[in-house]
Amino acid sequence: MIDPFGRTVSYLRVSVTDRCDFRCTYCMAENMTFLPKKDLLTLEEMNRLCSAFISKGVRKIRLTGGEPLVRKNIMFLVRELGRHVHSGGLDELTVTTNGSQLARYADELYDCGVRRINVSLDTLDPAKFKAITRWGDFSKVMEGIDAAQKAGLKIKLNAVALKDLNAAEIPEMIRFAHGRGMDLTVIETMPMGEIEEDRTDHYLPLSELRADLESEFTLADIPYKTGGPARYVEVKETGGRLGFITPMTHNFCESCNRVRLTCTGTLYMCLGQNDAADLRTALRASESDEYLYAAIDEAISRKPKGHDFIIDRQHRKPAVARHMSVTGG
């Protein structure tokens, strides 16, 4: 699949649910109204959609949410997609999770062909973790990380950089992650969905964070890539990798290889744009995949060049109204 700007689309991110067992302050409101369950694709339909994308050239699928592991019977989909990994039809099946359910599912994820996961973790301070996530239990996440490493899963920690909340902790998080053989990626907060706070209060440009880190660490740019938007450096003092995802200060649109599928069958060709394609109708219109393939091709032909995210005091409204949990990370 080639978009209008010559970029090969080979990476599909799938939000299997908009629900989450956390309520992270920068992501969603505490009293969220989630989609009615009747509006969601069945897991069988999700499997068929994902398989169609694999047939069209997708080589990597990441399951996201909300929190993907709270979706009932989610391991059915993981196992079905894992068959494409075992057959060689898919290079990689990965999961982004908050870690709350990892202790329960880590072994099964590995058995299904998952070898690498991302765990969202913004602080190592249990009290601060509770304040950021509202509903999260830090000890459960730590148990999940332990279980995942024991199962053989390679972990990358994702931390949203938040001024006056966790910025001073990033050095400690680097040492923690690298000390356990995990990569760490820091992410700029993005203006998606209405929340109870003003994002400008905690927005931290990663250029500032990197400058601060370079007073303590030696950072060397490296060409390492995982298929996503992170740019990596090697931290000389720890020997580990640190990634920077900068949708605000230095967007990565020129190399975008991704599209995002929601749990209702809506395909977003860009995280930061509202243009979308309804694949649920195409999916349910026929048992044949020809109509579905045509709908996918039409959607890819509309993939935009990039997004227009802005965070400042003059742009208090989110760039897009939908929450990140709807689109799928």
Annotated binding site for S-adenosyl-L-methionine: 26, 66, 120, 190
Q: In whole angstroms, give the CA distance from residue 166 to residue 180.
A: 20
Nearest C-alpha neighbor of 247 from the set 178, 164, 327:
327
Q: Are 253 and 307 in contact (CB under 8 A)?
A: yes
Residues 6+ apart with CB under 8 A from 99: 119, 120, 121, 140, 141, 144, 145, 148
**What are the binding residues for GTP?**
13, 62, 96, 156, 258-260
Using CA atoms, how far residue 142 sits from 106, 157, 186, 187, in Å, is 13, 12, 19, 21
Residues 6+ apart with CB under 8 A from 119: 96, 97, 98, 99, 102, 141, 144, 145, 148, 155, 156, 157, 158
| β strands within 179-239, DSSP E | 183-188, 219-221, 231-235
Per-residue tokens: 318: 């989110």
**What are the binding residues?**
13, 20, 24, 26-27, 62, 66, 96, 120, 156, 190, 253, 256, 258-260, 270
**What are the binding residues for [4Fe-4S] cluster?**
20, 24, 27, 253, 256, 270
The rounded Cα 17 to chain-centroid distance in angstroms is 13
The rounded Cα 214 to chain-centroid distance in angstroms is 27
